[in-house]
Structure 1
């Protein structure tokens, strides 16, 4: 993997909409879902030459255990996969996953990469993402809901949902 596929990844574009502060500037407890999005470029490894694909990684505290990866190869077809946030984090350090999704780290020519293999039926594809982009995205998600505290986030969301149903 040469430099050109990941040149745009040197500074990942991650956005975290922090909704924990009221307009008067005082912090309040985590009540509203907090989305995190990160746009990056991955390399689709189907041909001899990797194909750059614009990819969005999304996380929302309302669904604290999962993330959504959306691949857009510049066609009308957009491919979306939902996977566990913990799987992405673990796959960043070692081979993890089985069945439809597997993730593993690698280093090529001094560049940290994260490979992701996706399978649906007989079709499958593999992409390589910048480890820097994956790390930045995960860091932002952990700021919203720390790893291991997903259950407490669900309890708050359920409470808010119950309150809104009663009004």
Structure 2
């Protein structure tokens, strides 16, 4: 990845209701493979409101002069970091659709707890 700024990249974001706590972002760079990060859906939602996360994934909102949410900043990486700015309206709309699929607080409703207990025995 280049250190030239700013640079426009395509970003894909995905959600699977079978793994309802996680979201995956894939940033297409000039490299052979996209840069892929998986983190909690809650972290993404929190990052739209205030600085959230620590370690390899940190998110925070950017507001215009009137206080309106305009962008979401995503910093990823360990020894080598990258900073991405994503249109917040697109993220909010996408995130709302994930909550239609699996509402907040319902992530564990379909877990077969008896089967998990049997696996642990």
1:72-151 to structure 2, matched below 5 A, reads 72-108=28-64, 112-120=70-78, 122-151=79-108
Partner of 2:6: 50
Q: CA deviation at 1:79?
A: 0.8
Q: How many residues align?
A: 112
Q: What is the SS of the residue equivalent to 1:151?
A: coil
For structure 1, the residue ranges without an aligned partner over 5 or more in a row are 1-43, 162-167
Q: CA deviation at 1:107?
A: 2.2
Q: CA deviation at 1:73?
A: 2.2
Bigger relative contact order (CA 8 A; separation at least 6):
1
Larger Rg: 1
The normalised TM-score by structure 2 is 0.82
Partner of 2:109: 152
The normalised TM-score by structure 1 is 0.61
